[in-house]
Amino acid sequence: MDASVTLLLLDLVGVYFFAVSGSLLAARQRFDLVGSLLLACVAGLGGGVVRDLVLDAGPPVAFSQPLYLVPPALAVVTVYSIEASVQRFNRLLVVFDAAGLALFCVSGTLIALAAHQHPVAAVLLGVTSAVGGGILRDVIANVTPTLFDQREFYAIPAFVGAALTVVAQTAGALGGIIVVPIIALVFALRVAGRRLRWSIPLASRHVVD
């Protein structure tokens, strides 16, 4: 399979997973169908729009390629189909969010490298794509971003995935197959970090105000 087709597929699948997380959050917040579709679009496409605005190479793909509207539409259909049987709502949201994070930190980094960004910028753009959609989703739905929830282990897996992608690409090892273990690792880190309640030191313990 062509490398650019693989990349497009990676990106679209990532959009789908994030879009489901947006639609699930809309359901929890009791937004209507239009709100569900909008939050699916924001969560699924937001990180990529920010990435493309930063790359400054024409309109973001979310606008220029209508194909990118398919995953958010499918996501809304998915959530409407499964919602009656959903018992553990938050756990499902975490799984879809983790899958989106894993796919986006890799696809965002690869897209930045393909646009001739240097390695540090590519890592930054990978992390930005990966966390951007989720932050926009949470800010717009008026909940505190997952990233700041202490029980979550969020930005570090994205950073690890983006950095490994740059290393593998520089070593010439990305034939489309090396991305699979990187994606699996990021997903595992994110889910395990939450399950095992890995924690990171607080910035402050003695704030007196």
Residues in contact with a copy of itself by CB under 8 A are 23, 26-36, 38-39, 49, 53-60, 63-64, 66, 69, 76, 79-80, 83-84, 86-90, 117-118, 120-121, 124-125, 131, 135, 139-142, 144-145, 147-148, 150, 154-156, 199-209
Q: Which is nearer to a copy of itself, 14 or 108 (CB)?
A: 108
- The angle subtended at Cα 42 by Cα 137 and Cα 30, nearest 5°, is 60
Tell the smallest beta-carbon distance from residue 195 to a copy of itself (Å).
Answer: 17
Query: CB pairs under 8 A, 24+ apart, for 174-183?
Result: 174/110, 176/1, 176/3, 176/6, 179/10, 179/106, 179/110, 182/106, 183/102, 183/103, 183/106
Q: Which is nearer to a copy of itself, 145 or 176 (CB)?
A: 145
Tell the smallest beta-carbon distance from residue 34 to a copy of itself (Å).
Answer: 5
Tokens describing residue 2? 């062509």
Q: Which is nearer to a copy of itself, 51 or 102 (CB)?
A: 51
Q: Cα separation of 103 and 26, whole Å?
A: 22
Distances in Å between the alpha carbon of 51 and those of 57, 62, 91, 129, 156?
A: 10, 11, 28, 6, 19
Tell the smallest beta-carbon distance from residue 107 to a copy of itself (Å).
Answer: 17
Tell the smallest beta-carbon distance from residue 177 to a copy of itself (Å).
Answer: 29
Is residue 110 within 8 A of residue 182, CB to CB? The reply is no
Tell the smallest beta-carbon distance from residue 176 to a copy of itself (Å).
Answer: 26
Tell the smallest beta-carbon distance from residue 205 to a copy of itself (Å).
Answer: 8
Q: Which is nearer to a copy of itself, 87 or 172 (CB)?
A: 87
DSSP designation for 19: H
Q: Which is nearer to a copy of itself, 81 or 171 (CB)?
A: 81
Q: Which is nearer to a copy of itself, 7 or 140 (CB)?
A: 140
Is residue 39 within 8 A of residue 140, CB to CB? The reply is yes
